[in-house]
């Protein structure tokens, strides 16, 4: 497995912290905005006025549209509706990391990557952890909210594969255009399903939007694309396992979300399974050939 360079490793850990805190920030924002409007405003703020400064995208439009539909509008529509329906921030940060497994599955089916026995074992363990989350949350919360967050993880995994294929040379420019294409369908859906928007939100609601638009979306996905362009998806994706560490700890600290033993066991299964699936078994190097001997001399 390719190892991240020290600077890139620091970027990956910092990104996990930004995305982990993001769940509590989004929960605050959803107290003041309906979910589809919140998602649409998030991408609109990330796109404008940056769209006027970055120039035309350097990749084909079909890839921008594919990432906008999956990693942009699809993921966040499902995620925010699920959170608004009752999925707590810390648990959401854990469930969403199933995107690593969906990334591997989609990479196997769409990119032709090999599904080894090691990956199958890791996937099975991680999905066992997901079953524990369902059992724990199903007794106290709406299972539909949980299912929406799983679907959001699948959309993220599909978006990872699309972004890997796009290989944008400028991650920030690419994310600006993805945000621009993600915002209109979300705002139209909001108008259709949520009614005429009410933008009279308090300061904390707008601060939440600023964080998710500029820090989490532009900054976060800019770094994410930067890493995906330099390393395999299966190398980068496991570092997002630090996201629930930050997400669950900040949720417990700031919102009082309980951290049960069943959730801890689920987290251990998911993290262990994904790490096992995302790494390769080291094979011993062949012994050095003795000086002066060739294969014909044996």
Q: What is the 3-state secondary structure (H, E, C) of 40-108?
A: HHHHHHHHCCCHHHHCCCCCCHHHHHHHHHHHHHHHHHHHHHHHHCCCCHHHHHHHHHHHHHHHHHHHH
Using omega within 30 degrees of 0 as the cis cutoff, is the peptide bond preceding 158 cis?
A: no
pLDDT 10s per residue in the chain (298 long)? 467 788 888 898 899 899 999 999 999 999 999 999 999 999 999 998 778 788 888 889 999 999 999 988 999 999 999 999 989 998 898 888 788 778 888 888 887 777 778 778 877 887 788 788 777 776 667 888 989 999 999 998 999 889 888 888 887 788 889 999 999 999 999 999 999 888 888 999 999 999 999 999 888 877 887 887 788 766 777 777 778 888 888 888 888 888 778 778 887 887 787 777 766 655 444 444 444 443 333 3
Q: For tokens 């600023």, name the residue.
A: 210
Question: How many whole angstroms separate alpha carbon 133 and alpha carbon 180?
Answer: 34
pTM (two decimals): 0.79
DSSP symbols for 165-221? HH--S-HHHHHHHHHHHHHHHHHHHHHHHT-S------HHHHHHHHIIIIIIIIIIH
């Amino acid at each position: 497995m390719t190892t991240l360079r020290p600077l890139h490793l620091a970027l990956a850990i910092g990104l996990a912290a930004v995305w982990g805190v993001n769940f509590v920030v989004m929960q605050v924002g959803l107290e003041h905005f309906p979910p589809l409007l919140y998602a649409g405003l998030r991408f609109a703020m990330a796109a404008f006025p940056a769209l006027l400064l970055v120039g035309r995208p350097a990749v084909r439009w079909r890839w921008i549209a594919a990432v906008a539909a999956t990693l942009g509008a699809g993921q966040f529509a499902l995620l925010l509706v699920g959170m608004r329906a009752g999925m707590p921030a810390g648990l959401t940060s854990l469930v969403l990391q199933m995107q690593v497994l969906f990334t591997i599955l989609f990479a196997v089916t769409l990119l032709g990557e090999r599904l080894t026995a090691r990956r199958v074992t890791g996937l099975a363990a991680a999905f066992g952890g997901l079953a524990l989350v369902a059992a724990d949350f199903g007794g106290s919360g709406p299972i539909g909210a949980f299912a929406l967050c799983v679907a959001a993880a699948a959309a993220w995994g599909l978006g990872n594969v699309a972004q890997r294929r796009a290989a944008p040379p400028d991650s920030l420019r690419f994310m600006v255009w993805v945000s621009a294409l993600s915002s209109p369908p979300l705002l139209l859906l909001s108008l259709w399903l949520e009614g005429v928007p009410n933008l009279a939100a308090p300061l904390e609601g707008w601060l939440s939007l600023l964080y998710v638009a500029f820090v989490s979306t532009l900054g976060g996905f800019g770094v994410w694309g930067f890493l995906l362009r330099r390393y395999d998806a299966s190398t980068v994706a496991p570092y997002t396992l630090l996201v629930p560490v930050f997400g669950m700890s900040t949720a417990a600290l700031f919102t009082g979300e309980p951290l049960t033993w069943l959730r801890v066991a689920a987290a251990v299964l998911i993290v262990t399974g994904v790490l096992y699936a995302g790494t390769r078994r080291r094979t011993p190097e062949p012994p050095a050939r003795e000086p002066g001997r060739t294969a014909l001399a044996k």
